[in-house]
Amino acid sequence: MAELTQDAAQLEAAAERTARRAERAWAWSMGAIIALMLALIVFTTLHWGMQPPSSVETIDSMRLQLGGEFSEANLGTSVSPDGAVTVRVLAQQYAFVPKCIVVPADTPITLRAVSADVVHGFIVQGTNVNTMVIPGYVATLSTRFAQPGEHRMPCHEFCGVGHQGMWAQVRVVVREQFPFEQAAEAAVNCEKR
Ligand code: CUA
């Protein structure tokens, strides 16, 4: 009888050691995953200039077309009196307005986007431009395109049956080719410049 009790005690101790080992391995691997995620956030922030959209600026999505900052004439690229370049984009099922955005290369650019209906989003590959566009909010991003070139700007939030066909083009031109004077008077795009 005494022998049996001793065996049981030994088994229990062995089981506890196994459980402890498994728990420790679990805790370390979870810690490693959290550390990796934090490191990725720090890396993309510092190295790619990734930034979460401000999302604190609200706007009435039902009244966008009735005038104000995102009325049709203001959509596209404009240059303010202090020389700042701002691109205003309207996202709606299933297109971006303007469909083709033109911007000067090697110039600080502010992107401001709104949605007229549901949640959309967009990414410009090879840049830090990547945001959701949530109805009721203005998504604002700062960027700079180092080189002239063409970029695709697809919608990356599922927004309905036409989602996969929703994309815009970003045309980055050398500064000398960008119509700064026209853009100071009214917003320009690839067709209107
Ligand atoms: Cu808009 Cu997907």
Mind listing the pLDDT tens digit for each residue in 81-100? 888 999 999 999 999 999 99
Residue among 92, 85, 91, 132 nearest 111 (CA): 85
Check if the beta carbon of residue 21 is closer than 8 Å to that of residue 100: no
Residue 192 has pLDDT above 90, yes or no: no
Asked if residue 159 has its Cβ within 6 Å of ligand 1, the reply is: yes
* Residue with CA nearest ligand 1 atom 1: 120
Give the span between the Cα atoms of 71 and 74, in whole angstroms: 6
Determine the distance from the C-alpha atom of residue 7 to the mean position of all C-alpha atoms in its chain, rounded to a whole number: 61
Top-confidence residue, 68 or 23: 23
Which ligand 1 atom sits nearest the alpha carbon of residue 154? 2
Asked if residue 90 has its Cβ within 6 Å of ligand 1, the reply is: no
Identify the band that residue 1 occupies on the pLDDT scale cut at 50, 70 and 90.
low
Asked if residue 183 has its Cβ within 6 Å of ligand 1, the reply is: no
Which ligand 1 atom sits nearest the alpha carbon of residue 156? 2
Which ligand 1 atom sits nearest the alpha carbon of residue 157? 2
Mind listing the pLDDT tens digit for each residue in 42-75? 888 887 777 666 557 888 888 887 778 998 889 9
